[in-house]
Structure 1
Amino acid sequence: MDAGRASKAVNERLAAAVGGKVEGGAGSGPKVVFESISREDFRRWLDDHEDELRHWEYEPVTADSGRVIVYSFPSKVHESTAGGIMLDILKHVEDAGNSTELMKTFRMQYAPTINVGDRDQEPNGSLTPTAADIDAFPNLIVEIAHSQSWNNLVAKLERWMGPNTTVQVAIGVKVDRPNRRIILLQRDGQGVVRTEVDFAVGDPAPISFPLRALYHGVALPDALVGHEDDPIWIDLVWLRGEIDRFP
Structure 2
Amino acid sequence: MGKFKNWFIWLTAGYLTLIILLFLFYAFQVKDGSWGSFSDVVIAVYTVLIAYTTNMLLVVGWLTSNSWIDQSKHHSAKELHQSLSKLYFMAHEIKSKSIDLNFVKSFDMLTAANYHKLSSDGEIIFQNAQKNLSQDEISDYLNYVKPIYKNISEKMEKQLILDRKKISSFKFEVMTSSSPFAQSIEQSNIDIIGKVNEIIVMESDFHDTAKPLFESLKVATGYEGFKLIHIPDPVQNELFNNV
Task: Report the TM-score, using the length of structure 1 for normalisation.
Answer: 0.22
Point out the structure with the larger strand share. 1
Greater relative CO (CA pairs within 8 A, separation 6+): 2
Point out the structure with the larger helix share. 2
- Which is greater in Rg? 2
Task: Report the TM-score, using the length of structure 2 for normalisation.
Answer: 0.22
